[in-house]
């Protein structure tokens, strides 16, 4: 009792909002990791997993970048199957990048609209415009994998 | 231009702002994408859109309401 009276600071204090936020973030991260680990991708989406493997190591790679014919070597762009490349790489990349960028923009603008209405400081994205380039690249990769 | 930049978080002249760290955006976006693909697997690209939008929005708001320090001046 005497110790508590002479103590200049309380022995125990409530956790700060910062600590609560960090704890929530850790819990959410652990839950997400467990939920991802509990779902075997190959069992869940066999066709998509097979398609992803096919895209990385396609059986018909010579159909994409030429044939065994010496006059149609892989380095000759005229021998490439531009239609297949467009459908398998360029289009899903563009769609994924567009979707990711729209999602990122919608999220940031919604946040800042609410903060404007609440008369609080707006959020600024770390990296500025380069952050949007990074999200576009990420969306491109996800789009190709997820086709 | 500045108003749109301020809403998008890219403008350097938009009054008092709070800088959201890249890790907040990346972590919350990744969690959102993972959960969206798990819960709405058949939605395809819409899951990506919804996951990123919901994840980043919630991450931003949690960061602003818990960890961000108000900027003076």
- In whole angstroms, what separates CA A137 from the centre of its chain? 9
- In whole angstroms, what separates CA A106 from the centre of its chain? 15
Distance, in Å, from the CA atom of A84 to the CA atom of A60, rounded to the nearest integer, reads 11
Judge contact between A147 and A89, C-beta under 8 A: no
Instruction: Note the pLDDT tens digit of each residue in A62-119.
Output: 566 665 565 667 888 888 889 999 999 999 999 999 999 999 999 999 999 998 888 8
In a domain, A19, yes or no: yes
In a domain, A139, yes or no: no
Q: Which residue of B has its CA nearest to A95?
A: B45
Distance, in angstroms, between B70 CA and closest chain A CA?
7
The token pair at A20 is 């609560």
Among the partner residues B17, B22, B60, nearest to A107 by beta-carbon distance: B60
Residues in B touching A51 (Cβ below 8 Å): none
What pLDDT sits at residue A17?
Answer: 64
* Contact between B62 and A114 using a beta-carbon 8 Å cutoff: no
- Best of B7, B12, B42, B59 to substitute, by most chain A Cβ atoms within 10 angstroms, is B7
In a domain, A109, yes or no: no
pTM: 0.61
Q: How many Cβ atoms from other residues are within 10 Å of residue B46's Cβ?
A: 13
Among the partner residues B6, B9, B66, nearest to A17 by beta-carbon distance: B66
Please give the mean pLDDT across all residues of chain A: 75
- Helix, strand, coil percentages for chain A (3-state, nearest 5): 70, 5, 25
In a domain, A9, yes or no: no
Judge contact between B29 and B56, C-beta under 8 A: yes
Distance, in Å, from the CA atom of A131 to the CA atom of B17, rounded to the nearest integer, reads 17
In a domain, A53, yes or no: no
What pLDDT sits at residue B44?
Answer: 79
Among the partner residues B30, B34, B52, nearest to A104 by beta-carbon distance: B52
What pLDDT sits at residue A90?
Answer: 95
| Domain residue ranges in chain B | 16-67
DSSP string, chain B: -HHHHHHHT--S-SSSEEEEPHHHHHHHHHHHHHHHHHHSGGGTHHHHHHHHHHHHHHHHHHIIIIIPPPPP-
Distance, in angstroms, between A138 CA and closest chain B CA?
11
What pLDDT sits at residue A62?
Answer: 58
In a domain, A29, yes or no: yes
Q: How confident is the model at residue A2 (pLDDT cuts 50, 70, 90)?
A: very low
Low-confidence winner among A12-26, A44-58, B9-23, B27-41 (lowest mean pLDDT): A44-58
What pLDDT sits at residue A52?
Answer: 63
* Contact between B51 and A128 using a beta-carbon 8 Å cutoff: no
Phi, psi torsion values for B17, nearest 5 degrees? -135, 165
Distance, in Å, from the CA atom of A44 to the CA atom of A24, rounded to the nearest integer, reads 29
Positions of chain B with pLDDT lower than 50, given as ranges: none
| Domain of residue A20, residue span | 14-44
- Best of A26, A102, A119, A124 to substitute, by most chain B Cβ atoms within 10 angstroms, is A124
What pLDDT sits at residue B52?
Answer: 92
What pLDDT sits at residue A53?
Answer: 61
In a domain, A38, yes or no: yes
Distance, in Å, from the CA atom of B60 to the CA atom of B20, rounded to the nearest integer, reads 7
In a domain, A114, yes or no: no
Q: How many domains does chain A divide into? A: 1
What sign has the CA pseudo-torsion A27, A33, A38, A43?
A: positive
């Amino acid at each position: 009792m005497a110790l508590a009276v002479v103590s200049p600071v309380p022995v125990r204090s409530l956790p700060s909002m910062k600590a609560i936020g960090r704890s929530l973030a850790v819990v959410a991260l652990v839950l997400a990791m467990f939920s991802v680990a509990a779902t075997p991708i190959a069992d869940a989406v066999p066709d998509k997993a097979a398609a992803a493997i096919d895209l990385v190591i396609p059986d018909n790679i010579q159909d994409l970048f030429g044939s065994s014919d010496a006059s149609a070597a892989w380095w000759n762009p005229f021998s490439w199957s531009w239609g297949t490349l467009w459908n398998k790489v360029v289009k899903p990349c563009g769609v994924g990048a567009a979707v990711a960028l729209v999602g990122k923009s919608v999220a940031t603008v919604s946040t800042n609209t609410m903060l404007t209405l609440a008369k609080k400081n707006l959020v600024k994205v770390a990296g500025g415009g380069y952050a949007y380039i990074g999200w576009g690249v990420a969306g491109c990769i996800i789009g190709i994998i997820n086709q | 231009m500045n108003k749109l930049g301020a809403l998008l978080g890219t403008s350097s002249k938009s009054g008092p702002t709070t800088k959201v760290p890249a890790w907040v955006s990346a972590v919350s976006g990744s969690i959102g994408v993972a959960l969206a693909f798990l819960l709405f697997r058949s939605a395809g690209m819409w899951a990506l859109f919804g996951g990123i939008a919901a994840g980043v929005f919630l991450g931003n708001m949690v960061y602003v309401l818990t960890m961000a320090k108000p900027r003076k001046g």
